[in-house]
């Protein structure tokens, strides 16, 4: 990452990440596709309505994974192998503690969360079963994200891809078998997902145990290094909280959507699954740029940081704009893959056609945020996201939402807040450039 053609380095890193996240997105989408077609619209509503809860948990650990990745990448860039080892083993120790906490909170807190979200009685039980099974297998989720972050910080995005492809195919096969042949419902979909995640984590762990690089995991060295823990928390906690609070706001929006019934829940939930594929280029470019910047910052190569940002930001925006255009024109067909009910398709089309052409603004905000994490400025994007994507959305629902009870409010609230964050990021990036950060 610290030498060679800038665009080539970023693209070669981003492509395996993109393909890997494509299969990661298939995890959740396969659940919804199979449940929606083989079980029914109530089960589809149950699975898609808890998506914001799942994203909250995934986002939290991806935030810490990114924080750990930035610290490890910086240590690699500086050539300090002992520092790399301390960062890696602190990350693993953090994952062990997080697994226990998340499993207990998730399994026992599920009913409270669903009641808070005003989940309709007709889908409540199925949603609770799905979540409890999912949280019971959280060890795979936690360690897959943290361990992949370690590999990617070293510049290795290929091996996580290989492992994820294998486990994604396994997840799809198990999903179909559990529901089609064993007569299971949403519990079968959740079980297939956690088995796939667990196997992914094991494969990444095996790689890290056997590598000869500084990122090698030695079980006897797994402990907290307080200095490294502080660095990881400094970068990762703001990112994790950013993801969590945004997803909490999305949970409130989901609660608002729930009030329109299971067709709205299923339709908008299905559209959200489709949208997840559109943001894969953004996530890939963001992760590549964050790692690229962190390594070059450690090596003192500000010239490469500037070139990297000048390439990755426009590339990500153009990619997601193209994807959003596809969503705009083909949302009825894409939502129809999940369920053929006309009301479900209507609500999904509504979401796709309003939000699709604004995806470029969301993409710009995400990649700008990733760049600032790489620069060691995680607090600013956290404040921006919490203000624009959380506070504005929540206040809108608490005020206008009580007067104007219309599903359009739950849809338009996204493009409006994406626009706000984009404006703020443009001005702040100009400020950083004037300061000579890149």
Three-state secondary structure readout of the chain:
CCCCCHHHHHHHHHHHHHHHHHHHHHHHHHHHHHHHHHCCHHHHHHHHHCHHHHHHHHHHHHHHHHHHHHHHHHHHHHCCHHHHHHHHHHHHHHHHHHHHHHHHHHHHHHHHHHHHCCCCHHHHHHHHHHHHHHHHCHHHHHHHHHHHHHHHHCCCCHHHHHHHHHHHHHHHHHHHHHHHCCCCCHHHHHHHHHHHHHHHHHHHHHHHHHCCCCCCCCHHHCCCCHHHHHHHHHHHHHHHHHHHHHHHHHHHHHHHHHCCCHHHHHHHHHHHHHHHHHCHHHHHHHHHHHHHHHHHHHCCCHHHHHHHHHHHHHHHHHHHHHHHHHHHHHHHHHHHCCCCCHHHHHHHHHHHHHHHHHHHHHHHHHHHHHHHHHCCCCHHHHHHHHHHHHHHHHHHHHHHHHHCCCHHHHHHHHHHHHHHHHHHHHHHHHHHHHCCCC
What mean pLDDT comes out for the span 69-80? Answer: 86
CA dist 321 and 360 (Å) reads 5
Query: What pLDDT does 28 receive?
Result: 67
Question: Does residue 1 form part of some domain?
Answer: no
Residue 10 lies in a domain: yes
pLDDT at 171: 87
Whole-number average pLDDT of the chain: 88
Closest listed residue to residue 258, CA positions, set 414, 398, 125, 118: 118
Asked whether residue 106 is assigned to any structural domain, the reply reads yes
Is 165 part of a structural domain of the chain? Answer: yes
Q: What pLDDT is stored for residue 3 in this prediction?
A: 78
pLDDT: which is higher, 125 or 167: 125
Q: Is 304 within a domain? A: yes
The answer to whether residue 82 sits within a structural domain is: yes
What contacts 24+ positions apart, CB below 8 Å, involve 123-126?
123/42, 123/43, 123/45, 123/46, 123/49, 123/262, 123/265, 126/42, 126/43, 126/46, 126/47, 126/185, 126/186
Mean pLDDT lowest among 2-16, 51-65, 139-153:
51-65
pTM of the shown model: 0.72
Number of domains in the chain: 1
Q: Per the domain annotation, does 126 fall within a domain?
A: yes
- Tell me the per-residue pLDDT of 352-393, one tens digit each, with 9 for 90 and over: 999 998 999 999 999 999 898 888 887 888 888 889 888 999
Inside any domain, residue 175: yes
Query: Do the beta carbons of residue 288 and residue 14 sit within 8 Å?
Result: yes
Residue 105's domain comprises 6-434
Query: What is residue 239's predicted lDDT score, i.e. its pLDDT?
Result: 73
pLDDT of res. 432:
85
Q: Which residue did the predictor score with more confidence, 170 or 56?
A: 170
Report the pLDDT value the prediction gives residue 108, as an integer from 0 to 100: 92
Q: Which two tokens stand for residue 168?
A: 């994604």
* Per-residue pLDDT tens over the stretch 164-217: 788 888 888 999 999 999 989 899 989 998 998 899 899 999 999 999 888 999
Give 206-238 pLDDT, tens digit per residue.
999 999 888 999 999 999 999 999 988 888 887
According to the model, what pLDDT value does residue 294 have? 85
pLDDT band, residue 146 (cuts 50/70/90)? confident
């Amino acid at each position: 990452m610290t030498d060679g053609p800038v665009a080539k380095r970023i693209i070669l890193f981003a492509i395996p990440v993109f393909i890997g996240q494509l299969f990661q997105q298939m995890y959740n989408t396969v659940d919804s596709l199979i449940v929606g077609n083989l079980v029914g619209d109530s089960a589809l509503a149950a699975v898609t309505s808890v998506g914001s809860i799942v994203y909250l948990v995934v986002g939290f650990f991806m935030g810490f994974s990114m924080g750990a990745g930035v610290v490890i990448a910086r240590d690699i860039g500086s050539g300090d192998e002992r520092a790399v080892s301390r960062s890696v083993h602190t990350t693993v120790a953090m994952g062990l503690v997080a697994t226990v906490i998340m499993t207990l909170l998730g399994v026992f807190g599920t009913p409270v969360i669903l009641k808070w979200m005003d989940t309709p009685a007709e889908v409540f039980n199925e949603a609770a079963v799905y979540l409890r099974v999912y949280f019971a297998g959280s060890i795979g989720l936690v360690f897959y994200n943290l361990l992949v972050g370690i590999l990617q910080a070293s510049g290795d995005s290929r091996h996580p891809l290989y492992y994820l492809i294998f486990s994604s195919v396994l997840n799809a096969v198990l999903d179909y078998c559990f529901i089609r042949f064993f007569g299971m419902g949403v519990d079968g979909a959740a079980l297939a997902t956690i088995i796939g995640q667990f196997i992914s984590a094991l494969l990444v762990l095996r790689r890290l145990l056997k590598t000869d690089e500084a990122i090698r995991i030695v079980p006897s060295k797994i402990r907290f290094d307080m200095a490294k823990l502080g660095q990881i928390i400094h970068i990762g906690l703001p990112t994790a909280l950013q993801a969590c609070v945004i997803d909490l706001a999305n949970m409130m929006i989901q609660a608002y959507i729930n009030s329109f019934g299971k067709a709205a829940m299923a339709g908008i939930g299905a559209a959200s699954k489709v949208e997840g594929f559109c943001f894969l280029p953004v996530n890939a470019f963001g992760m590549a740029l964050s790692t690229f910047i962190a390594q070059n910052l450690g090596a003192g190569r500000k010239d490469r940081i500037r070139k990297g940002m000048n390439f990755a930001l426009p590339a990500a925006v153009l990619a997601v704009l193209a994807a959003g255009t596809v969503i705009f024109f083909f949302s009825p067909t894409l939502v129809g893959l999940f369920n053929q009910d006309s009301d479900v398709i209507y609500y999904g089309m509504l979401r796709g056609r309003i939000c699709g052409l604004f995806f470029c603004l969301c993409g710009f905000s995400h990649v700008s945020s990733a760049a600032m994490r790489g620069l060691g400025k995680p607090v600013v994007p956290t404040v921006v996201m919490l203000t624009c994507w959380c506070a504005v959305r929540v206040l809108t629902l608490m005020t206008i939402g009580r007067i104007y009870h219309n599903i359009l409010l739950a849809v338009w609230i996204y493009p409006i807040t994406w626009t706000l964050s984009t404006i703020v990021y443009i001005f702040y990036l100009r400020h950083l450039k004037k300061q000579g950060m890149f």
